[in-house]
Structure 1
Amino acid sequence: MPVSIVLASYPPRGWARLVTRISRINKDIRGVPGFVEGRVFGTGNLRPPIGGAPVFRRWALFTVFESDEALKEFEQSHSMEMFTDRAREVWRASLRPTRVGRGTWRGWRPEVDPIPHDDAEPVLSMTYSRVRTRYVPSFLMNNKRVVDEQTDDDGLIAQLGIADDFTATSTLSIWRSQADLVDFAYRKSPAHKAVIKPSLTKWQTQNFSARFRMVESSGTWDGRDPAAAARLAAEELRRPGTHHS
């Protein structure tokens, strides 16, 4: 089942115009043949002291379709045109789910690609959660520790916060390899280990996580294609004499 992520960055007037169109885009995409699920997401910088701050100039469109043909038709649709209109930078990636850690996103639980995700292969990770209001300060403070550790990890290529409504606290991250992601999440990160149990049992009302293979990508995100950067980094790591950091 094909999945698409589109990141678009706008000048001030461009993103202000997009905000007035979000409800219409979210409604119109549901009428596209082959549509399964999808939403416009706001994005955030995960590095400020509080652990997250909105980035109004950048927005994301995450969609799921029944077939590659349906996705290609959507890419030429008026809904996509409305989303990317006036954008000064656009990055697109076609994805295939390779692992679902837990939960669902708006009722959608991906069908996993039958081709296993190789440990040396680049990966895009998505987490999606809704945090109980009383625990938002604790979640943000502890999540900031995780982000700080991620930022220092050689395997991390790109990351940003995403939210499809005001109660969601979610992330997208791209890693040099699945091995890097697993190593960080389950072995190297004390902060991640400390935050994961209360997140799942106490702080959150909903939690979804999945890994995706990046099949195709085009355009740029902050001046580069992070999927291409991840592939290059993975290739360098596989060269003789190169050791995993």
Structure 2
Amino acid sequence: MQTVSLSFFRFPPGFSRLWAFAMMGLARRPMSRIHDIGFWKLCGSGTGEGFTPLPNTAVYAILATWPDLTTAQTRIDTTAIFRRYRARATESYTLYLTPTSSRGAWSGTTPFIPQPTQSSGPVAALTRATIRPRAALRFWRREPTISRAIGADPNVLFKIGIGELPLFHQITFSIWPDTATMANFARADGPHARAIRAVREGNWFREELYARFHVAAATGTWHGQNPLDQLDYAA
């Protein structure tokens, strides 16, 4: 069963942040040589809680797919490039996810293999989009209200905006207590729903992907805690 890992790293001011920025290019070769790795992406982060045009130079992320959970955990624990990231970072947090649904494409591929599951517990949502240059200004005028809506929702356990390329390649990722809570937010007639209608009507995205996951495991901390501990979740 495919497992998706999403690792976050927070770096202190100074040389470590310069190192992390440089690794957006330099880490490509060692990442491509990891045994058993499938699709992978190196990402920076934004200052908001969803899509955001303003970079956060302290936080970087690595997304990867693996054939199963055990392989994912072993490679992230032992592979040199992941160990180098953890050694430089002041904090790191890795989520292991099982895809349950996915539609759309990412860099022309379909990276996630959904698996039906009856598992209860926390679920994650990932939206990735390539914004058309002609639509960028309209999108970024609307986006801040979406980020505020995500951040203000009392049910969201974790949220972050990451991306491969500022302004045009954007990812929003969030974790929710259960499927119903996540669906209620997505369907509510607020900034999020109105933005989706605007995207559809204006054809703002050149490429888009929407995926949902079961959270299988988590290691490390973020802001000093495992965000899933809010549900007494045992990683």
Band of TM-score, shorter chain: 0.7 to 0.9
Q: TM-score w.r.t. structure 2 length?
A: 0.88
**Deviation for aligned residue 1:26:** 2.2
Which consecutive segments of 4 or more residues in structure 1 shift more than 6 A? Answer: none
Deviations 1:146-203 (A, max 9, x none): 22222222211221111012321211111122211100111x2422221113324511
Task: Give the whole-Å Cα distance in 1 for the aligned partners of 2:144 and 2:189.
Answer: 12
Unpaired segments ≥5 residues, structure 2: none
Deviations 1:5-44 (A, max 9, x none): 1111011221211222222322222221211111111011
Q: Does 1:124 align with 2:127?
A: no
Contact 1:30 1:37 (8 Å CA) reproduced: no
**Deviation for aligned residue 1:139:** 0.9
Deviations 1:39-98 (A, max 9, x none): 1110112269x9542111111111111233432342111121232231001111111111
Q: TM-score w.r.t. structure 1 length?
A: 0.85
Task: Give the whole-Å Cα distance in 1 for the aligned partners of 2:199 and 2:111.
Answer: 20
Task: Give the whole-Å Cα distance in 1 for the aligned partners of 2:207 and 2:196.
Answer: 13
Residue 186 of structure 2: aligned partner: 185
Unpaired segments ≥5 residues, structure 1: 234-245
Task: Give the whole-Å Cα distance in 1 for the aligned partners of 2:52 and 2:84.
Answer: 31
Task: Give the whole-Å Cα distance in 2 for the aligned partners of 1:158 and 1:137.
Answer: 27
Contact 2:49 2:150 (8 Å CA) reproduced: no
RMSD: 2.1
Q: 1:52 to 1:226 in 2, by over 3 A?
A: farther
Task: Give the whole-Å Cα distance in 1 for the aligned partners of 2:70 and 2:26.
Answer: 23
Superposition pairs for residues 92-241 of structure 1, below 5 Å? 92-100=94-102, 102-106=103-107, 107-116=109-118, 118=120, 121-166=121-166, 167-186=168-187, 188-200=188-200, 202-229=203-230, 231-232=231-232
* 1:223 match: secondary structure: coil
Identical amino acids, percent of aligned pairs: 20
Residue 237 of structure 1: aligned partner: none
Aligned residues: 227
Contact 1:174 1:226 (8 Å CA) reproduced: no
